[in-house]
């Protein structure tokens, strides 16, 4: 199970990235379309890996790889849109849980890949724990809301569903690509799909105007934070891609519950000591929900090792 510690390491980096993404989107780079463009275009750096064993793939697998890369950029656009309207420690778990369900559907009915009852049980625990981590307490003085709205509002649900679907397509196709090629070749082709999506965004007149305006407004400090965050994101994505290369994609995505644990810890630390950087609502009930969610996720890990 070498893929498991690699996956946990990947989600640590991606958890920190999610927190910084929230800060950048709310204060420094407010337009999700601009953020998605920058993230996609920066993947052109993957071409630096070409001299180290890159190979051309068959037409079908190349199409899969490019489609996976494009789906990823579309997914992060919807994710960043959701992050503008919800706290990172709540939006990301919900999207991750729905993504796992989509992947399980694709893997079962398209790839004919079947999981054991123990693995399905672990996935259920990962999803349940993640949703508990996402539970939203009511603000002081707020009127009683319905059960649905106690988690997220309708707009976040719609954006989350879209993000989850495209992330699931990305992950499912990524695994199919890695079944047919080496890790390095598959990784480079997947990143070229990211670049194609970024170029496609730039070709849209309305998006291009937003991107040019955002670029002009960027300060040196914002650019520095963005680049450092993307370096962490690249590290997380390389580790996650290698884990998918080695192991079962449905379970790897379900283990994303550990990312929510890292998000919770970082958000709690910043709220307590650096509220000017990030401040989230943590009532005693919210903390209890999150601790129970963490224990449930731990139960999922235990099941995987039975």
Percentage of residues of the chain with pLDDT beyond 90: 35
Say which residue, 221 or 42, is predicted with more confidence: 42
pTM of the model: 0.83
Is residue 36 over pLDDT 80?
yes
CB–CB of 271/31 below 8 Å? no
Split into its structural domains, the chain has a count of 1
Is residue 24 over pLDDT 80?
no
Is residue 146 over pLDDT 60?
no
- Residue 218: the pLDDT is 73
Whole-angstrom distance, CA of residue 123 vs CA of residue 255: 8
Summarize the confidence of residues 223-244 as an average pLDDT: 88
Whole-angstrom distance, CA of residue 225 vs CA of residue 221: 6
- Residue 79: the pLDDT is 86
- Residue 238: the pLDDT is 92
Whole-angstrom distance, CA of residue 56 vs CA of residue 39: 24
* Phi, psi for 141 (deg, rounded to 5): 85, -5
Is residue 192 over pLDDT 90?
yes
The single-letter DSSP state of residue 24 is I
Is residue 185 over pLDDT 60?
yes
Joined together, the tokens standing for residue 17 give 């990235």
Q: What is the average pLDDT value for the chain, to the nearest integer? A: 83
State the distance between the two ends of the chain, measured CA to CA, in whole angstroms. Answer: 12
Is residue 281 over pLDDT 70?
no
Nearest CA among 198, 293, 183 for reference residue 237: 183
CB–CB of 87/21 below 8 Å? no
In tens, the pLDDT along 120-129 reads: 888 888 888 8
What is the domain extent for residue 8? 3-304
Question: In the Cβ-directed half-sphere of 236, how many Cα atoms lie within 13 Å?
Answer: 18
CB–CB of 245/183 below 8 Å? yes
Summarize the confidence of residues 35-43 as an average pLDDT: 90
Is residue 145 over pLDDT 50?
no
Percentage of residues of the chain with pLDDT beyond 70: 86
The single-letter DSSP state of residue 182 is -
CB–CB of 185/178 below 8 Å? no
Summarize the confidence of residues 199-218 as an average pLDDT: 88
Residue carrying the six token digits 């890159």: 54
Burial (CB count within 10 angstroms: exposed 0-12, middle 13-18, buried 19+), residue 110:
exposed
The single-letter DSSP state of residue 151 is T
* Phi, psi for 278 (deg, rounded to 5): -155, 135
Choice among 3-17, 20-34, 140-154, 280-294 with the minimum mean pLDDT: 140-154
Residues 6+ apart with CB under 8 A from 68: 169, 170, 171, 173, 174, 177, 190, 193
- Residue 191: the pLDDT is 96
Summarize the confidence of residues 156-167 as an average pLDDT: 88
- Residue 37: the pLDDT is 93
Is residue 299 over pLDDT 60?
yes
- Residue 139: the pLDDT is 53
Say which residue, 274 or 136, is predicted with more confidence: 274
Say which residue, 106 or 18, is predicted with more confidence: 106
Choice among 38-42, 80-84, 110-114, 173-177 with the minimum mean pLDDT: 80-84
- Residue 287: the pLDDT is 78
Say which residue, 29 or 252, is predicted with more confidence: 252
């Amino acid at each position: 199970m070498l893929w498991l510690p690699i996956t946990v390491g990947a989600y640590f980096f991606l958890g920190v990235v999610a927190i910084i993404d929230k800060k950048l989107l709310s204060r420094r780079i407010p337009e999700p379309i601009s953020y998605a463009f920058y993230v996609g275009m920066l993947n052109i750096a993957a071409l630096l890996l070409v001299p180290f064993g890159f190979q051309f793939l068959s037409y079908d697998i190349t199409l899969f790889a490019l489609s996976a890369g494009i789906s990823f950029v579309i997914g992060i656009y919807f994710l960043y849109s959701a992050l503008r309207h919800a706290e990172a420690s709540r939006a990301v778990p919900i999207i991750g849980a729905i993504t796992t369900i989509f992947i399980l559907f694709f893997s079962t009915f398209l790839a004919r890949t079947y999981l054991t009852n123990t693995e399905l049980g672990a996935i259920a625990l990962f999803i349940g724990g993640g949703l508990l981590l996402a539970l939203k307490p009511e603000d002081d003085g707020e009127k009683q809301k319905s059960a649905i709205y106690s988690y997220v509002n309708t707009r976040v649900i719609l954006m989350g569903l879209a993000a989850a679907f495209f992330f699931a397509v990305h992950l499912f196709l990524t695994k199919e690509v890695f079944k047919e090629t080496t890790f390095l070749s598959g990784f480079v082709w997947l990143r070229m799909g990211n670049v194609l999506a970024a170029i496609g965004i730039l070709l849209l007149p309305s998006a291009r105007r937003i991107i040019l305006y955002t670029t002009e407004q960027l300060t040196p400090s914002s650019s520095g934070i963005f680049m450092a965050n993307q370096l962490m994101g690249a590290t997380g994505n390389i580790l996650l891609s290698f884990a998918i290369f080695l192991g079962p994609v449905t379970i790897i995505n379900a283990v994303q519950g550990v990312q929510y644990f890292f998000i919770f810890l970082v958000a709690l630390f910043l709220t307590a000591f650096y509220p000017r950087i990030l401040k989230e609502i943590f009532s005693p009930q919210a903390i209890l929900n999150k601790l129970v969610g963490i224990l449930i996720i731990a139960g999922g890990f235990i099941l995987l090792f039975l």
